[in-house]
Structure 1
Amino acid sequence: MRHLLQKLGFYLIALWAAISLNFFIPRWMPGNPVDIMLSKLAQRGPVTPETRRAIELLLGGDSSLPLWDQYWQYLGQVLGGDLGVSVAYFPTPVVQVIDQTLPWTIGLIGISTVISFLLGIGLGQLAGWKRGSWLDNVVPVTTMFQSVPYFWLALILLFAFGSVWQVFPLNGGYDVWEVSPGWSPEFIGSVLYYGTLPALTIVISSIGGWMLGMRNMMVSTLSEDYIVTAEAKGLKPRRIMTSYAARNAVLPSVAGFAISLGFVVAGSIVTEAVFSYPGIGSALLQAVNSNDYALMQGIFLVITLSVLGANLLVDLLYTVIDPRTRARA
């Protein structure tokens, strides 16, 4: 229990620090979302001080207050779920923009990351167990794809399977002309069809790292004394591979997977830009181009929560996977 409380205390402090930085950094940067909005309104006529004041309050700011008062006001708004109004998607609230784009990113990047991790760990386990086999020789090929620039690989797959053979669509998240968003089989099938090529690109570019890491850890683990003891006791090779070798070899990969899973919410800006996918990465890119501080702050806050949550989950999972952690605690 004490170990758990220490972990929760650490993550609460980290969350507070992240929220504080999320507040101060945009205010120290040049530019102002209120000025951007006023410049758009000024094209239609003169802008009064009252108009500026109204827009400032609408976007969640109040320059008449001292910075520390603005900070406490911001903390209250965050706790109340009010992240302001987006300039890029005006007059849509930031929470609504995130609510519309986040499921697309989690569905595409999240599922692709999980598939890549499971395939990489499984293949790496077999490659490390059977050193010198054909699967072990495939590892350098998979790591080669990881070193290839992602956008280049995505463009090649788009050209091959979207333009030359026309197996998959070139862009979008679903067929906007034929189906309507909902839980209908037609819409779900369209989403899967449009997301296959982006997901395939993510899996191809990331599976090599998981496979190489797991393979090397398996080779190192198989030389440990407890593996030799298990073999001397006459245990079945499959049990030795899964229950003894793989269980210990996977620990570093689980920590890396937590970080990757946390950054799933950030999306892959390159992925969503190349495939014109309507995820949170596209929303973040639009926010940066429009100096939309409210939307940037909201997205960064969600990213922070996802990273801290994923790491906390893995810390707790470690106590289940590795009994030595419980002993130290």
Structure 2
Amino acid sequence: MGYHLRKVAFYLVALWAAVTLNFVIPRLLPGNPVDILMAKLQQRGGSVDPAARQAYETLLGTGGRDSFAQEYLAYLRNLLRGDLGVSVSAFPAKVTDVIGDSLPWTIVLVGLATLISFVLGVGLGALVGWKRGTWLDSLVPATTMLSAVPYFWLALILVALLSSGLGWFPLNGGYDVVLDPGWSAEFLGSALYHGTLPALTIVLSSVGSWLLGMRNMMVSAMSEDYVLTARAKGLTGSRVMVRYAARNAVLPSVAGFAISLGFVVSGSIVTEQVFSYPGIGSKLLQAVQNNDYALMQGIFLVITIAVLGANLVVDLLYGLIDARTRDRSTVS
């Protein structure tokens, strides 16, 4: 119990530090979101007066008369209420609404693609490491070559070949624009069809790293005493591979997978830009371009919570999977 409480306390402190940095860093950037909003209003023919400017400064929580400490305390209070402010780049929409509309697209696309690449890479890596020296070793350079190709270049190649050339997939978008978003079978089928090519890009570019890492850990695990003992007992090769070698070799990959899942919510900016996919990555890029403090803070907060939560779950699982981790923590 003490091990788990220490881990939870550590991550709570890390969350507070991350929230504080999340407040400070955007305000160190040059520019002012109120100035950007005022310029947009002028472009649309709107009138700008000092009273309107002061109202927007109060609304956006920046550039007003409050001190830095007062803004920070107000930010924490709003955060506890679930109020992340108003987005400048999508004015007058709330940050929570902007994130809520785009986050599910990213979680489904990047989350499923990351899961598929992890399962495929770890499974193939375990098999290649177990049968090292055979023709299966040729999978390593083939997949790592795809990982070495620049991400945007691989996406453009797939678009040119499979979309423009063969016409198998749509060029861009997350669904057919003539459909109304909802839970209908037609809309879900359209979203799946539009998301297949972006997901394929993510899988091809990331499966090689999982395969190579698992393969190397399997080769190392096969020389351990517990594997040699299992073989000496006459256990079947498949049982030794799965229950002994792969079970211990996969632990570093599990930690890496948890971190990858944490960053799923940040989306893949390059993929979403190439395919014009309506995910959180494009919203983050839009927020940075417009100095949208509120939206940047909201997206960074979601990313921070996801990464810390994923790492906390892995730390707690490590204590269950590998008792040595828990024992070392107790001794220290």
Tell me, yes or no, whether TM beats 0.5. Answer: yes
Helix, strand or coil for the counterpart of 1:181? Answer: coil
SS at match of 2:91: coil
Contact 1:261 1:307 in 2 (8 A): yes
Q: State the distance in 1 between where 2:131 and 2:6 align.
A: 41
| Cross-structure match for 1:273 | 273
In 2, distance between residues paired with 1:13 and 1:100?
30
Per the alignment, residue 55 of structure 1 pairs with 56
2:257 aligned counterpart, secondary structure? helix
* Separation of aligned partners in 1, 2:277 and 2:96: 19
**Aligned counterparts of 2:300 and 2:210: Cα–Cα separation in 1:** 27
User: 1:68-83 to 2 correspondence within 5 Å?
Assistant: 68-83=69-84
- Mean Cα displacement is larger for which, 133-142 or 83-92? 133-142
Q: For 2:197 and 2:315, how far apart are their aligned partners in 1?
A: 33
Alignment gaps of 5+ in structure 1: none
Shift of 1:62: 6.1
> Residue 303 of structure 2 aligns to which amino acid in structure 1?
I
| Structure 1 residue aligned with 2:233 | 233
Shift of 1:135: 1.9
Amino acid at match of 2:106: T
Show the counterpart of 1:84: 85
Q: Which residue in 2 is equivalent to 1:99?
A: 100
Is contact 2:32-2:63 (8 Å) kept?
no
Which residue of the partner structure matches residue 323 of structure 2?
323
Q: Deviations over 1:62-106 (max 9, x none)?
A: 621111111111000111111111111110000000000000000
Structure 1 contact 247–321 (Cα < 8 Å) conserved: no
Counterparts of 1:32 and 1:17 in 2: how far apart (Å)? 24
- In the alignment, the residues of structure 2 paired with residue 146 and residue 155 of structure 1 have an alpha-carbon distance, to the nearest angstrom, of 15
Higher alpha-carbon deviation: 71-80 or 41-50: 41-50
Looking at structure 2, the residues matched to 81 and 191 of structure 1 have their Cα atoms a distance apart, in angstroms, of 29
Match of 1:201 in 2: 201
Could you tell me which amino acid in structure 1 is paired with residue 2 of structure 2? R
Question: What is the aligned length?
Answer: 328
Alpha-carbon contact 2:114-2:260 (below 8 Å) kept: yes
Name 2:110's counterpart in structure 1.
Answer: 109
8 Å CA contact retained: 1:59, 1:84? yes
For residues 65 and 239 of structure 1, the distance between their equivalents in structure 2, rounded to whole angstroms, comes to 66
TM-score, normalised by the number of residues in structure 1 = 0.97
Using the TM superposition, give the Cα deviation of residue 327 of structure 1 relative to its aligned residue in structure 2, in angstroms.
2.8
Partners of 1:60 and 1:83 within 8 A in 2: no
**Cα shift readout 1:10-47 (whole Å, capped 9, x = no counterpart):** 11111111111111112222111011112233453652
Instruction: Tell me the residue number matched to 1:312.
Output: 312
Q: Which residue of 2 aligns with 1:189?
A: 189
1:48, distance to aligned residue in structure 2 (A)? 2.2
Distance 1:100 1:242 in 2: 41
Question: Where does the alignment leave 5 or more consecutive residues of structure 2 unmatched?
Answer: none
Distance 2:67 2:7 in 1: 34
CA contact (8 A) 1:15 1:308 kept: yes
Q: Distance in 2 between matches of 1:212 and 1:284?
A: 31
2:68 aligns to what? 67
The aligned residue for residue 137 of structure 1 is: 138
SS in 2 for 1:242: helix
Q: CA deviation at 1:325?
A: 2.1
Identity of aligned pairs, percent? 67
| Equivalent position of 1:180 in the other structure | 180
Q: What one-letter code is carried by the residue in structure 2 that aligns with 1:19?
A: V
Aligned to 1:9, what secondary structure does the other structure show? helix
CA contact (8 A) 2:265 2:303 kept: yes
Matching residue's letter, 1:284: L
Q: Counterpart in 1 of 2:14?
A: 14
Query: What does the per-residue CA deviation read over 1:282-306, in whole Å, with 9 as the maximum and x for residues that have no partner?
Result: 1011111111111111111111111
Question: C-alpha distance in 2, partners of 1:23/1:325?
Answer: 34
Q: Secondary structure at the match of 1:264?
A: helix
Distance 1:286 1:46 in 2: 25
The answer for the alignment partner of 1:5 in structure 2 is: 5
**Offset at 1:237?**
1.2
Helix, strand or coil: the match of 2:265?
coil
CA shift, 1:323, in A, is: 2.3
Q: Which residue of 1 is the match for residue 300 of structure 2?
A: 300
Distance in 2 between residues matched to 1:137 and 1:62, nearest whole Å:
59
**SS at 2:177 equivalent:** coil
Aligned match of 1:152: 153
For normalisation by structure 2, the TM-score amounts to: 0.96
Cα distance, 1:233–1:54 mapped onto 2, change above 3 Å: same
Q: Distance in 2 between matches of 1:97 and 1:26?
A: 18
